[in-house]
Chain A
Amino acid sequence: MDNKLKQVFQKASYEPEINFSGDIWRNIKIKESRIYKIKTILNSSFGILSFILLFPSISNLITQFNSQGFSEYISLVFSDFNMISTYWKEFALSIVNSLPLASIALSFFLLFVLFNSTRKVVGQFRSKLLLA
């Protein structure tokens, strides 16, 4: 009974239009291309934005280094090293206190986003070139 039913069922199959699988493949390629474009635009935008924001951020970082006396501390390293080695603990703590942590964190974050976006864009171009 099983074999006979299998034959009967297989005769009753519905067939799609000719080249339907080709249409499916074309639609997948169109979707793939759209996703590729969106990713490229997004990653490029993030890269450009972080690059632009990096300049005021670094400028602000330098200003804050100067205004909070960090460069004076550095100059002491070369002029009065004995004092520094004597009071190294206090000195280290003061340096940490004088660091513009927020600006440093922001700058590193922007650098991270810039490098990451650039890496992704380059990766996408490379994979596209390899597949072409």
Chain B
Amino acid sequence: MNDKDEELISKYNNGDEDSLRILIDRYTNHIYNFSVRFVGVNNTPDVVQDVFIKVWKNMGKFDVSKSSFKTWLFTIARNTITDYLRKKKMKVFSELNKEDEEFTETIEDEALLQDEVIERLEDKEYLNSLLDKLPNNYKEVLILYYQEEMTFAEIGESVGKPLNTVKSWHRRALIKLREEIDR
């Protein structure tokens, strides 16, 4: 049960079906929590099912040397969510405008959200309502960074963007969050 992801994948590819079951148990909550932010509580079970069915179908193609399982899994989740949102004609992970991309780092990280502001975010419902107001790209970066504890490099790999873009999105996301709090 404590095997690393890569060991479980190797075992699964050698015929041990329970390894996939362990991986599903390990990541269901993560993918659920990620998906629910974009497709809503009612649609999330179907989207999460689709994600793991795609994982099951593509396990043989996963290359351990190219990325971590978690990064690969979140890429599949992102693509599945994008497909779902397109089908429902909802806003996908849209590209941000040039102004956002060229955002200059003029504000200190610590100054973005002070302790007293963070304390206000401890109200779960309040934080979730604020996140719902953010553009999908910003929300995605915040969830992956703070909830999934992925590094900026891993997030970049997962969303297919350069490191600096992800860092820029992260800072813009914190500023937007701050703006929503002050509103």
Q: Which chain A residues have a beta carbon within 8 Å of chain B's beta carbons?
A: 1-2, 4-6, 8-17, 20-21, 23-25, 27-28, 31-32, 130-131
Contacts and interface: CB of A to CB of B under 8 A. Distances in A.
B127 A9 contact: yes
Given A13-B29, A27-B49, A130-B15, A1 B112 contact: yes
Interface of B: 15, 17, 20-21, 24-25, 28-29, 32-33, 36-37, 41, 44-45, 48-49, 52-53, 56, 109-110, 112-113, 115, 118, 121-122, 124, 127-128, 131, 142-143, 146-147, 149
A69 B142 CA distance: 82
Contact of B115 (A4, A6, A9, A12): A4
5 contacts: A1-B118, A9-B142, A10-B147, A14-B33, A21-B28
Given A6-B149, A27-B49, A20 B122 contact: no
Grouping DSSP codes into helix (H, G, I), strand (E, B) and loop, the A interface class, with mixed when no group exceeds half, is helix
Given A14-B41, A16-B29, A27-B53, 5 more contacts: A1-B112, A8-B118, A9-B127, A16-B44, A20-B48
A40 B44 CA distance: 33
A95 B131 CA distance: 81
Nearest to B114: A1
